[in-house]
Amino acid sequence: MKIELTREQMQAIKNESKLIINNEEWDYEDQGNEEEEDERGKYYSHIYKRPSDGKCFRINLFYTRYGYKDYGFESSGQDNVAYEVEKKEIVKYEWVGVR
């Protein structure tokens, strides 16, 4: 399920204000993943829970990088969509050196 968000709702997320969708205040659950940055910009994701049915949604924020040495970030490149997600346990195995 995807929910289209308004510019004002995206601004509320950016400003860490209350997120209200369809007259319902969503609960902030978690930062979806660590901040990632590459030559194009910074990526953030936030997880919100809709109280009426308990479903969780990921909202991605992308800040476009501009400039070279004295660079900054621009936030106009958002997709303005909340994507339904669920939390799952993932087991990861790695080979590590033995001392």
Give the pLDDT confidence score for residue 18 in this predicted structure. 92
Contact 28, 51 (CB under 8 A): no
- Encode pLDDT of 37-83 as tens digits: 666 777 888 899 999 999 999 998 887 776 666 655 565 567 889 99
Q: Which residue has the tokens 């339904």?
A: 84
Cα 46 to Cα 24: distance, rounded to the nearest angstrom:
18
pTM exceeding 0.85: no
**Is residue 16 scored above 60 in pLDDT?**
yes
Give the pLDDT confidence score for residue 43 in this predicted structure. 80
- Write down the domain spans for the chain: 2-85
